């Protein structure tokens, strides 16, 4: 009879749950598997626990938990369920970490101002990854530039008038500047904003290593230029365009917002308007030049080999120019920055440093939400973190919209 090793399996489940409670590694390349295992487990804890329970019942019926080792295995598996239950409870209790910073930065009336703006639109939607078909029709898939990757989905409610002036949000996907898949990133946020009456342009862009920096930011700028020139045909307001994105998309979001109309990244469309009214970078990279610190040597090595393809020591200016933290300015638009304290890919210290630099320089509001125990990509699923992110970002952008009139 084939041995099924229930004890080893239970230990693996418990370690996976423990990694969701707190990352088991924070230095070097080990952070990559730590993230990829802990992220879905932590954000979809009830699903993971439920699947484990069903599988445990199946294995119990075939006798895997008989004997002393089997009972120990079952006990360890039960401990993993308890850990996952704790993770979900902790996540569900985190809403104030999203909303509190907005209240502190924008004032006690921010919720009332945002609510007044939202009363003009309907609310409520199940923020699930299959909701795209509700908001994106065949003619809403557009091409914004000359390259194969220059495509985008235009999300909107079906009842929005084509001659209306709905606020617009550009969503920039993440993926280490090497993936750039617009589907299915930020679906909780985009469904939430679409139901509120916004138009969201979810873009793809050229990625590395096939393409070299600055192709990525050029495409973001080109998408903004397309929006300003064409979004009125879809019922959007070209005078109210905000931008958001996570991870590499957070980097590109911040950089685009801080370099409006910069001709070095607008080749062939230097005169186009690429300014935005607000920016929401989420767990982004804001520093491409610091070489010391957790994960920094590995990050610079990846940039040199796959993204920039130029030696840092010989082309330091390229890395400085690509760093949003070097571009902070007094006339920056309002920012809402979000980062998780347990981020294994981009340490939270990077978000803190960027926000500190922004607050010292910008004349506009800068709100910062630091989410306890949140991993990288915490807003990807329709989890409590995903829901709270969508709600808080909507509150912030509605506040900006109301303040601009």
Residues with a known catalytic role: 247, 343, 376
Which residues share a beta bridge with 143? 151
Distance between CA atoms of 168 and 35, rounded to whole angstroms? 32
Strand order in the sheet with 141-143: 141-143, 151-155, 199-203, 166-172, 236-246, 278-282, 335-340, 366-371
- Within 94-180, residue ranges assigned H as helices are 95-106, 110-118, 132-135
Distance between CA atoms of 253 and 366, rounded to whole angstroms? 15
Cα 204 to the chain's mean position, in Å? 14
Burial class (CB in 10 A: 0-12, 13-18, 19+), 133: exposed
Write out the H or E segment, with its range, that includes residue 61: helix 45-61
DSSP states of 287-318 as a string? -SS--SSTTHHHHHHHIIIIIS-S-TTT-HHH
The answer to whether the bond into 41 is cis (omega within 30° of 0) is: no
The answer to whether the bond into 247 is cis (omega within 30° of 0) is: no
Strand pairing category for 166-172 and 151-155: unpaired
Q: Which residues contact 245 (CB under 8 A, 6 or more apart)?
A: 171, 172, 173, 174, 186, 251, 252, 253, 281, 282, 284
Among candidate residues 251, 270, 253, 254, the one with its CA nearest the CA of residue 262: 270
Q: Which residues contact 105 (CB under 8 A, 6 or more apart)?
A: 365, 366, 367, 368
Alpha carbons within 13 angstroms on the beta-carbon side of residue 385 total: 29
- In the numeric block, which tokens belong to residue 88? 């979900």
Neighbours of 296 (CB within 10 A): 15
């Amino acid at each position: 009879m084939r041995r099924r090793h229930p004890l080893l399996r239970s230990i693996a489940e418990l370690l996976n749950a423990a990694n969701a409670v707190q990352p088991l590694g924070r230095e070097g390349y080990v952070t990559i598997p730590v993230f990829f295992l802990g992220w879905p487990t932590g954000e979809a804890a009830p699903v993971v626990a439920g699947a484990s329970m069903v599988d445990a019942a199946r294995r119990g019926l075939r006798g895997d938990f008989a004997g002393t080792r089997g009972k120990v295995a079952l006990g360890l598996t039960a401990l993993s369920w308890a850990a996952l239950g704790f993770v979900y409870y902790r996540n569900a209790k985190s809403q104030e970490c999203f909303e509190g910073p907005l209240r502190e930065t924008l004032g006690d009336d921010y919720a009332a101002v945002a609510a007044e703006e939202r009363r003009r639109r309907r609310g409520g939607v199940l923020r699930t990854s299959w909701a795209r078909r509700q908001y994106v029709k065949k003619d809403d898939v557009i091409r914004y530039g000359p390259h194969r990757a220059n495509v985008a989905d235009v999300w909107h409610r079906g009842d929005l008038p084509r001659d209306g002036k709905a606020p617009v949000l550009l969503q920039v996907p993440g993926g280490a500047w090497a993936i750039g898949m617009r589907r299915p990133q930020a679906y909780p946020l985009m469904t939430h904003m679409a139901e509120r009456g916004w138009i969201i342009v979810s873009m793809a862009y050229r990625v590395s290593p096939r393409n070299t920096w600055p192709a990525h930011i050029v495409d973001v700028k080109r998408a903004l230029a397309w929006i300003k020139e064409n979004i009125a045909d879809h019922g959007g307001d070209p005078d109210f365009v905000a931008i958001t994105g996570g991870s590499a998309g957070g980097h590109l979001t911040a950089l685009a917002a801080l370099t409006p109309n910069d001709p070095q990244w607008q080749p062939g469309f230097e005169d186009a308007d690429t300014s935005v009214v607000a920016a929401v970078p989420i767990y982004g990279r804001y520093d491409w030049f610091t070489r010391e610190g957790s994960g920094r040597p590995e990050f610079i090595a990846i940039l040199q080999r796959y993204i920039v393809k130029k030696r840092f020591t010989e082309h330091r200016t390229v890395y400085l120019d690509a760093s949003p933290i070097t571009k902070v300015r007094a006339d920056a638009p309002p920012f809402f920055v979000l980062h998780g304290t347990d981020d294994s890919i981009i340490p939270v210290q990077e978000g803190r440093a960027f926000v500190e630099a922004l607050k010292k320089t910008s004349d506009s509001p800068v709100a910062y939400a630091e989410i306890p125990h949140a991993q990288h990509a915490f807003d990807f699923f329709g989890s409590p973190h995903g829901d709270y992110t969508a709600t808080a970002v909507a509150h912030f952008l509605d506040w900006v919209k109301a303040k601009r009139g």
